[in-house]
Amino acid sequence: MPDTTRPADRLPGSRYGNRPTMKDVAARAGVGLKTVSRVVNGEPGVTPDTERRVQEAIDALGFRRNDSARVLRKGRTASIGLVLEDLADPFYGPLSRAVEEVARAHGALLINGSSAEDPDREQELALALCARRVDGLVVIPAGDDHRYLEPEIRAGVATVFVDRPAGRIDADVVLSDNFGGARDGVAHLIAHGHRRIGFIGDMPRIHTAAERLRGYRAAMEEAGIPVEDAWMSLGQTNPERVRRAAREMLGGPDPVTAIFTGNNRVTVTVIRVLAEQSRRVALVGFDDLELADLLEPGLTVVAQDAAALGRTAAERLFRRLDGGLVTPERIELPTRLITRGSGELPPAD
What pLDDT was estimated at residue 10?
45
What pLDDT was estimated at residue 86?
86
Indicate whether 72 pLDDT > 80.
no
Q: Do domains 22-65 and 78-176+306-333 have the same CATH topology?
A: no
Residue 90's pLDDT band, with cuts at 50, 70 and 90, is: confident
Give the torsion through C-alpha atoms of 41, 45, 51, 54, to 10 deg.
-60
Q: What is the pLDDT of residues 313-349, one digit of tens each?
A: 999 999 999 998 889 999 999 999 999 999 999 998 7
Instruction: Please check whether the domain covering 78-176+306-333 is classified as CATH 3.40.630.10.
Output: no
Instruction: Report strand pairing: 282-286 vs 300-303.
Output: parallel
DSSP H or E segment with residue 260: strand 258-261
What pLDDT was estimated at residue 63?
86
Adjacency order of strands within the sheet including 330-333: 109-114, 79-84, 136-139, 158-162, 172-176, 330-333
Of residues 70 and 38, more confidently modeled: 38
Residue 13's pLDDT band, with cuts at 50, 70 and 90, is: very low
DSSP H or E segment with residue 176: strand 172-176
CA distance 74 to 107: 14
How far CA 336 is from CA of 95, 209, 242, 259, 265, in Å, comes to 17, 18, 25, 18, 19
CATH superfamily of 178-304: Response regulator (3.40.50.2300)
Q: What is the pLDDT of residues 232-249, one digit of tens each?
A: 999 999 999 999 999 999
Write the single-letter amino acid at 298.
G
User: What CATH number does the domain located at 22-65 have?
Assistant: 1.10.260.40
Of residues 60 and 74, more confidently modeled: 60
Instruction: Write down the mean pLDDT value for the chain.
Output: 91
Indicate whether 165 pLDDT > 80.
yes
Residue 314's Cβ-side half-sphere holds a number of Cα atoms within 13 Å equal to 29
Query: What phi-psi label fits residue 235: left (phi over 0), alpha (psi between -120 and 50 degrees) or beta?
Result: left
Please say whether the beta carbons of 321 and 136 come within 8 A.
Answer: yes
CA distance 287 to 249: 21
Q: Which residues of 169-204 are buried (b: 16+ CB within 10 A; e: fewer)?
A: bebbbbbbbbbbbbbbbbbbbbebebebbbbbbbee
How large a percentage of the chain has pLDDT more than 70? 92
Q: What is the pLDDT of residues 167-218, one digit of tens each?
A: 999 999 999 999 999 999 999 999 999 999 999 999 999 999 999 999 999 9
CA distance 146 to 346: 45
Could you state, in order of their start, the residue ranges of all structural domains in the chain? 22-65, 78-176+306-333, 178-304
What pLDDT was estimated at residue 88?
84
What pLDDT was estimated at residue 92?
93
Residue 87's pLDDT band, with cuts at 50, 70 and 90, is: confident
CA distance 248 to 83: 36
Please say whether the beta carbons of 14 and 42 come within 8 A.
Answer: no
What pLDDT was estimated at residue 2?
43
